[in-house]
Amino acid sequence: MTRLTGGFIDPATEAATGFRAVLEAMARPGRIFDVTGAAPPAPLSVAAGVVLLTLCDHETPLFLAGRYDCAEVRAWIAFHCGAPFAAPEAAAFALGDWQDLQPVSRFRAGEPAYPDRSATLLVERSALAAQGHRLSGPGIRDHALLNLPETAAFQVNHARFPLGFDVIFTAGAQLAALPRSTRTEAL
């Protein structure tokens, strides 16, 4: 059965390695990291599987958008993570293609007293590349480049800082992050 397979073989070590990759990606926006260890069902990428196995559990409500909201993915997440499925406005994490996650304004942006009560968007992409959009801000010396799906939504999100959502982009076995503190501009 697909839902019983594809998790970490050595959960403690692989979760620690996955967490380190996500942490490094958030600390160094725009840098692309390779990850391994998960074999989730289609249409999930390896990187999305690693992020879910690492960050999601029974206390992290998850919203699935578009083609990711299917029986195979739901069963795999329920078995390996135990994350409850939620509506967009209640989700701690949201997973999907950028267009299926729209409008992003429906996701939690935190509160002035608790900016950490915001959503993290897991955005699946066909590929990640160090080109297309210029990133600057904390964790970036001078600037970084990353192919973003657009610029406007990330500029609006940054203007709300310290409120706003954070983004982890996944493609194949790669991930990159765009925290709300990062400034973006098209080249």
Average pLDDT, the chain: 96
Q: Residue 48: which residues within 8 A CB-CB, separation 6 or more?
A: 40, 95, 122, 124, 170
Is the Cβ–Cβ distance between 109 and 164 less than 8 Å?
yes
- Is the four-CA dihedral 25, 71, 165, 92 of positive or negative sign? negative
CATH of the domain at 32: 3.40.50.11310
| Tens-digit pLDDT profile for residues 34-90 | 999 999 999 999 999 999 999 999 999 999 999 999 999 999 999 999 999 999 999
Range of the domain at 60: 2-186
| Tens-digit pLDDT profile for residues 86-112 | 999 999 999 999 999 999 999 999 999
Is 1 a residue whose pLDDT tops 50?
Answer: no
Domains held by the chain: number: 1
What's the mean pLDDT in 150-174?
A: 97
152 by Cβ neighbours in 10 Å (0-12 / 13-18 / 19+) ranks as: exposed
SS3 category, 174: strand
